[in-house]
Structure 1
């Protein structure tokens, strides 16, 4: 709360603000190529060498945390959401595993859509760190096992990441 110094309708106003504001904020602040620069105090680092390095590190961390959250959700889906979780990961297992494969292979973090590289708007391309690639590779077997348990087919072809 109160991390943004916006004016008027830009700020959250209890009893007046709407879910639309929340969803638009999430879309604008998080669902973009470089969310690091939307963190308070980081916008001035945009496109500087140190900013690019920190942005890449931030994005790598977010991807690893997303994989860990997937694993947790697969192992312990919320009560009454088991079918939703199973269906979601059956549909997206190959995109997730293809992304892991591409990152382990050196694809630029944040450059993938549905497991395939897209044109990046970053000024300087930064390769994934060796630690990030190793961390992603370590998680693949667990993802495959859990995706398969929930009915995703043909995931075994991604085991060669080790």
Structure 2
């Protein structure tokens, strides 16, 4: 019981850091989405500060995710409603990343046939895939939390009934 209580604070810190990084990624995805829609057919410049912040956010997201997965257990809370909420939030976060990936791919797929354009787009594609992977990891984390909440709550109702 003491071990379970001692894992709550580290888990909440990890979840808060992952959530902050995911929300920063989603905000950046929203900005990029508006930029791409507003100027279709144009290769947009990315300011160096934004690129550095994006790389830093991706690093934080991945470091915290893998640290939590290896070292911090998910507390066994009970709430079917919260479980459903976190499951929905996890899937929704990945939908936004997938939408950006789809728009970017549809917009730049014709340019990939030229090796010159493909080389120019390679760093952008790498950042997009890294962002998508980070959102995938975050959605998995929320799914794990949702499953734990729902499973614990379901078992708790069976024990008392």
Specify if TM > 0.5.
no
TM range (shorter): 0.3 to 0.5
More helix by proportion, 1 or 2?
A: 2
Where relative contact order (Cα < 8 A, 6+ residues apart) is larger, the structure is 2
Structure 2 length-normalised TM:
0.34
Q: TM (normalized to structure 1)?
A: 0.34
